[in-house]
Chain A
Amino acid sequence: MFRVASIRLAALVSRARVAATVTAAPRLAINKPNMMPSIITSARWYSDNGGLSREKIESRIINLLQDFDKVNQEKLTPTADFSKDLGLDSLDTVEVVMAIEEEFSVEIPDDDADNISSVKKAIDYIAGREDAN
């Protein structure tokens, strides 16, 4: 996928250069470079989330849950289920997910938030969010 994107991008760049230098029509020279950003942003980068490693995400989520006084601390593990293990009710879970939002400065849409019901699911979700930090 990256290869295809980079080849296309290279082709565009060279075409744009040609347009800018050779073509006299100013409309073309302006239009071509404008197409580039959309192509760049449509390429996905499957990197390790800008330095957010799984271990880091895990420890930050665990820390956050340690500060949450309703959590059954004895059962707090990276695989703990919010309700079965940690003893949280559904309102508590909403609060925890909101706290995770704040911790990683992301907004979690309702549909995603409804499915985060364990520490592991929270870690997976944040690991999959490229804009988390």
Chain B
Amino acid sequence: MGTRRLSGLQKDVLRLYRDCLRAIKTKPEETQHRFRAFARQEFEKNIVSVKRTDVRAIEYMLRVGRRRMEQYMSPNVRDISFI
């Protein structure tokens, strides 16, 4: 097999990422690549800043992340700019 088994927490993170990608498909096509790059960047930022053993921090960030995703899912948000 060789493939690493994912922990429950890892699965939760990947599920949030998957939900973000699904949500991005509801955005105008020409802006989707920016939303995707933004989501990716936000996840990567936290991958380096949070220790993988810090369960409480990860759970907290999952909640924050989901809430932010829901905010961005508003149809009023049509485009995004970030650095």
Interfacial residues, chain A to chain B (CB-CB below 8 A): 81, 83-84, 90-91, 93-95, 97-98, 110, 113-114, 117-118
Contact A81 B6 (CB under 8 A): no
Interfacial residues, chain B to chain A (CB-CB below 8 A): 2-4, 6, 10-11, 13-15, 17-18, 21-22, 40, 43-44
* Cα A94 to Cα B17 with chains together (Å): 8
Contacts of A94 in B (CB 8 A): 14, 17-18, 21
Inter-chain contact total with CB atoms closer than 8 Å: 34
Give the interface SS of chain A, mostly helix, strand, loop or mixed: helix
Contact A98 B18 (CB under 8 A): yes
Knowing A90-B10, A91-B40, say if A81 contacts B2 (CB, 8 Å).
yes
* Cα A81 to Cα B4 with chains together (Å): 11
Contacts of A83 in B (CB 8 A): 3-4
Question: What are 21 inter-chain pairs, A to B, with CB distance below 8 A?
Answer: A81-B2, A83-B3, A84-B2, A84-B3, A90-B6, A90-B13, A90-B14, A91-B43, A93-B14, A94-B14, A94-B18, A94-B21, A95-B21, A98-B18, A98-B22, A110-B18, A114-B6, A114-B11, A114-B14, A117-B3, A118-B3
